[in-house]
A and B are shown apart, each in its own frame.
Chain A
Amino acid sequence: MNKSLFAGVAIAALTAGGAMADGHLPFAPGEGAFSWDAYNAWAENAPDLSGQTVTVSGPWLTPEDDVFRSALAYFADATGAEVIYNGSDSFEQQIVIDAEAGSPPNIAVFPQPGLAADMASKGLLHPLPADMSDWVRDNYAAGQSWVDLGTYPDQSGADQMYGFFYNVNVKSLVWYSPENFEDAGYDLPETMEELKALTEQVVADGDVPWCIGLGSGAATGWPATDWVEDMMLRTVSPETYDKWTTNEIAFDDPQVIAAIEEFGWFARDDAKVSGGAGAVASTDFRDSPNGLFASPPGCYMHRQASFVPAFFPEDTEFGVDVDFFYFPSFAEKDLGNPVLGGGTLMAITDPSDATNALMGYFQQPLAHEVMMAQTGFLTPHKGANVDAYKDDTLRGLGEILLGATTFRFDGSDLMPGGVGAGTFWTGMVDYTGGKSAADVAAEIQSSWDALK
């Protein structure tokens, strides 16, 4: 038994060694637009953690998992600790099972705050090191809002900071093909009124303005919740939006119904969406951007978050084949330029010294820059060098995030799981299927009442 165990460990070590050789330190220290000075200063004082292991579980799979491992490699290099990242497509279920049964990883990367808040209230999460909230407040753009989003009541009801945001996306974006706009002679809309006028113009020209797809397997409907949230931010004040996410104003409030109907203006008109309104709910969100690149164009615009380029055809060139503009706000309403976003947060599920040290490493600009340079990773970290972004498109997105006047988190992720990842999704599918906004909103509200 022991012999075979050792043999197994030896083989594992050998294969791990092989893997390290590939993924080890993708950027040579001291080169490129990275914050090496800060990293070196941190690395000098970093504790020696040789022989210790930190396990991290999260939702990132190919190719983000390898990129994340390469960011972790710099931590391992400085401290000698081994960090193992494991991705899972059913992370949300698995972390609950593991934590409940008592075998969690050291750090869990949550795709949305709702689940983290839920686990914190059951006592399954451990608060972050004490200095973390001050650090986030000072070093993240719109810092206080990130602190608030990561702070939940613990088992006894006292607020503690559990979640540290790492990897953020921007949702208020419209993707388009600049050349198709040129061919048709359209200008980029600067206000919501212009966007609506443009939509009608495209229809009048005999083409289809929008590609909207809500399909996403078990999560079908979520792209529509983003639309409604964006519409909420453009029709009501951010404070009202916050009240909506906590149900201080009811889901079937006229303001919410109005926002749903604003979405319906785009999605429920056969002429305005590719395939007709009936195809909206059945089109997979991963396939829906393809209309932008089809010949003849299936649509002219596609509203989706900053991660969607992962589903563009392989050799798509940014700025040439595709570009984005900010999903504009109404000129008549004085609400500024709100930005809707989402993001993943890290929380400690099984504390150790090495885990705390790793959390400290994530404060380093380098931990963000390594990710920025390799994948569609955006960060609100003010210390991270924007030159490190992989391309201009990402840099533009990153700057939107750094300069946001109003940043609001994806509302459905803040609502209780049964609503934000349940009836809100299915309700939006019903709505695009022809049900009235008032009925849908009333149903969602009653499901929320049932959860209280």
Chain B
Amino acid sequence: MDNIAGSKPTLTWAVHISVLALVCLWLFPTVGLLVSSFRTGDQISTSGWWNALGTADQNVVMRVADPDENRVAEGDMFVVEGNIFDGEIQGATILVWGTSSRAIDAYQAGETAELKGTETLTVATDGTYTWKGSDDEISGRGQRVFASITAPPEFTFENYDAMLFDPANNEGMTKAFFNTLTVTIPATIIPIVIAAFAAYALAWMDFPGRALLIAIVVGLLVVPLQLALIPLLKLHLGIGIGKGYLGVWLAHTGFGLPLAIYLLRNYMVGLPRDIIENAKVDGASDFQIFTKIILPLSFPALASFAIFQFLWTWNDLLVAKVFLIDASGQTTVMTNQITELLGTRGGNWEILATAAFVSIAVPLVVFFAMQRYLVRGLLAGSVK
């Protein structure tokens, strides 16, 4: 161990560093999305997520309380007092401030600004203000205050709350969650079962035209599924399946099969020939060889394809929209529900970011439960 590591120390370091760099590169957008999911829509549209991580200097526009409701008479003058932040920004400190959009840094914190006539405004570092003036001046709309502030990071659980517990959303989300499971589980199992049988036949059973069949399967890998959408839907409607779960299972099965057969066949063909021949000599039928020998040995490949297919069907929007989602509105899936949360003109980014993390949860569980098979399954087919 020591001498292996010792022989190529520089190369190992280079590999580690580039792996680390690649991991960071891959994780970077996800971290951004995660941070965004804890921010409000206004925060997202005004500053980048990296600003949210540390104490940030920012310029804000605030308004003093409505004078008509809050003013107090003091001699012949009127006064409005309060805190400019009004509980909206926690722990912020004002550096400089102003009352005109043309001079937003006219006054230091704590200074008193002489406005028109007898009107004065004092804003302290912590945001407390005193706005004083005559009857006329302290009426109508509240004076604007432009402040340059330093504020600690501010995060909110509002988005998750709205997403998971707001009755307007969570009913639809719950329905979509179970619909998605209804789509995904059969759409993962059916192609695996079919592909396992097919892969065995293509790998170990001699029949005329086998090579051609394999070539066709490999060729089908290149056909984009978008080509088949309308003809396939027409077929489904024509034979009475219509739009629904059965249709979407069939579609996912069909679209997933070429890759599944290809992957499993390549794995199975690499299994030791001796075992299979021994079994044949002992009088085992093809079906027995398949169930007793091939299937247990192919578990890593089956699991890795299951992960692929599960992730693809879980994240799928296109196939679901074409084959499943009809006008009744009862058959929505997670991805569809999430895009709809974006709003009519696609502005609700905070909800999108949150929804992405909610919907990621299940695939993550599946992935970590089966990931040790993934690498084995992927490599097994390619390296002989």
Where the two chains meet, the residues of A that have a C-beta atom closer than 8 Å to any C-beta of B are: 12, 15, 18-19, 22, 53, 55-57, 59-66, 84-90, 94, 97-98, 100-106, 177, 179-180, 183-184, 217, 286-287, 290, 293-297, 307, 310-311, 313-314, 320
Is A295 touching B104 in the complex (CB atoms < 8 A)? yes
Decide yes or no whether B71 CB sits under 8 A from chain A. Answer: no
Name the one of A19, A295, A314 contacting B42, with C-beta atoms under 8 angstroms: A314
Is B114 an interface residue, CB under 8 A from the partner? Answer: no
Number of interface residues of B (CB under 8 A): 46
Most interface-central of B40, B147, B168, B342 (chain A CB within 10 A): B168
A61 touches B343 (CB 8 A): yes
CB neighbours of B167 from chain A (8 A): 22
A286:B340 contact, CB within 8 angstroms: no
The reply to whether A179 and B144 contact each other, CB–CB distance below 8 Å, is yes
* Interface of B: prevailing SS: mixed
Q: Inside 8 A of B102's CB, which chain A residues have their CB?
A: 183-184, 296
| A296 and B321 contact, CB distance less than 8 A | no
Closest to A313 in B: B42
Tell me the minimal C-beta distance from A185 to chain B in angstroms. Answer: 9
Q: List 18 A-B contacts (CB under 8 A).
A: A59-B344, A62-B348, A64-B344, A65-B344, A84-B328, A86-B329, A88-B336, A94-B321, A101-B230, A101-B237, A179-B101, A183-B100, A184-B101, A295-B59, A295-B61, A310-B345, A313-B45, A314-B41
Q: Is B141 an interface residue (CB 8 A)?
A: yes
Q: Which of A184, A286, A313 contacts B346 (CB 8 A)?
A: A286
Known A97-B229, A103-B243: A293·B328 in contact at CB below 8 Å: no
- Choice from A65, A103, A295 contacting B237 with Cβ under 8 Å: A103
- Is there an interface contact between A89 and B339, defined as CB atoms closer than 8 Å? yes
At the interface, yes or no: B135 with Cβ under 8 Å from chain A?
Answer: no
Q: Which residues of B contact A18 (CB under 8 A)?
A: 171
Give the Cβ gap from B174 to chain A, nearest Cβ, in Å: 9
* Distance between Cα atoms of A103 and B344 in the complex (Å): 24
In the complex, chain B residues 49-80 whose Cβ is within 8 Å of any chain A Cβ: 59-61
B321 touches A88 (CB 8 A): yes
Question: Are B345's CB and A311's CB within 8 A?
Answer: yes
Contacts of A293 in B (CB 8 A): 61
The 5 closest A-B pairs by CB, nearest first: A55-B327, A105-B327, A295-B59, A101-B233, A183-B100
The reply to whether A286 and B347 form a contact with Cβ atoms under 8 Å apart is yes
- Residues of A contacting B347 in the complex (Cβ-Cβ under 8 angstroms): 286, 310-311
CB-defined contacts of B346 to chain A, threshold 8 Å: 89, 217, 286
The CB with the most chain A CB atoms within 10 A, among B102, B234, B243, is that of: B102
Query: B322 near A: Cβ within 8 Å?
Result: yes
B322 touches A97 (CB 8 A): yes
Measured CB to CB, the residues of B under 8 A from A are: 40-42, 45-46, 59-61, 100-102, 104, 141, 144, 146-147, 167-168, 171, 175, 229-230, 233-234, 237, 242-243, 321-322, 325-330, 336, 339-348
Closest Cβ neighbor of B40 among chain A residues: A314
Chain A proximity of B102: nearest CB distance (Å):
5
Closest to B330 in A: A12
Q: B340's closest neighbor in chain A, by CB?
A: A61
> B343: which A residues are within 8 A, CB to CB?
61-63, 310
- Shortest C-beta distance, A167 to chain B (Å), equals 11
Smallest CB gap from B232: residue in A: A101
**In whole angstroms, what is the CA distance A97 to B322 when docked?**
7
B141 in contact with A320 (CB, 8 Å)? yes
Decide if the interface of chain A is mainly helix, strand, loop or mixed. Answer: mixed
Knowing that A310-B344, A310-B345 touch, tell me 15 more A-B residue pairs with CB under 8 angstroms: A22-B168, A61-B342, A62-B340, A64-B344, A87-B340, A89-B346, A98-B327, A105-B327, A177-B101, A184-B102, A295-B104, A295-B146, A296-B101, A310-B343, A314-B41
Contact A297 B101 (CB under 8 A): yes
Q: In the bound complex, what is the Cα–Cα distance between A65 and B340 (angstroms)?
A: 10
Residues in A neighbouring B61, C-beta threshold 8 A: 293-295
Per the bound structure, the CA–CA distance linking A287 and B171 in Å amounts to: 30
Q: Which B residues are CB-close (under 8 A) to A55?
A: 327-328
CB distance from B280 to the nearest CB of A (A): 42
Q: How far is the CB of A6 from chain B (nearest CB, A)?
A: 14
> Min CB distance, A12 to chain B, in Å?
5
B344: A residues at CB distance < 8 A = 59-62, 64-65, 87, 310
Contact partner of B60 (CB less than 8 A), chosen from A61, A62, A84, A295, is: A295
Q: What is the bound-complex CA distance between A90 and B233, given in angstroms?
A: 18
Task: Note all chain A residues with C-beta closer than 8 A to B141.
Answer: 320
CA distance A105 to B167 in the complex (A): 27
A296 and B327 contact, CB distance less than 8 A: no
A86-B327 in contact (CB<8A): yes
Which chain A positions have C-beta within 8 A of B146?
295-296
Q: How far is the CB of A17 from chain B (nearest CB, A)?
A: 11
Q: Knowing A22-B167, A61-B342, A295-B101 touch, does A102 contact B59 (C-beta < 8 A)?
A: no
Cβ–Cβ contact B171 & A15, under 8 A = yes
Docked Cα-Cα span, A276 to B233, in Å, equals: 48
Measured CB to CB, the nearest residue on chain B to A101 is B233
Nearest chain-A residue to B60 (Cβ)?
A: A295
Across the interface, do A290 and B45 meet the contact criterion of CB distance under 8 Å? yes
A64 contact set on B, CB distance < 8 A: 344
**Shortest beta-carbon distance from A68 to chain B in Å:** 10
User: Which residues of B have CB within 8 Å of A86?
Assistant: 325, 327-329
B125 to chain A, nearest CB (A): 18
Report the Cα distance A88→B327, complex, angstroms.
Answer: 10
- CA A93 to CA B168, docked complex, whole Å: 27
With CB as the reference atom, state the residue of chain A lying closest to B341. Answer: A62
Minimum Cβ distance to chain A for residue B249 (Å): 15
Q: Report yes or no: B101 in contact with A183, Cβ–Cβ below 8 A.
A: yes
- The residue of chain A having its C-beta at the shortest distance from the C-beta of B243 within the complex is A103
Are A15 and B175 interface neighbours, CB within 8 A? yes
CA distance A102 to B342 in the complex (A): 29
For B317, the closest partner residue in chain A by CB is A90
Complex: chain B residue closest to A11, CB-CB = B175
Contact present for B46 and A290 (CB under 8 Å): yes
Give the residues in chain A near B348, CB-CB below 8 Å: 62
B359 to chain A, nearest CB (A): 16
B59 touches A294 (CB 8 A): yes
B230: A residues at CB distance < 8 A: 97, 100-101
A53 to B329: give the CA distance in the assembly, Å. Answer: 12
Whether B168 contacts A286 by the Cβ 8 Å rule is no
Q: Which residue of A lies closest to B169 (CB)?
A: A62
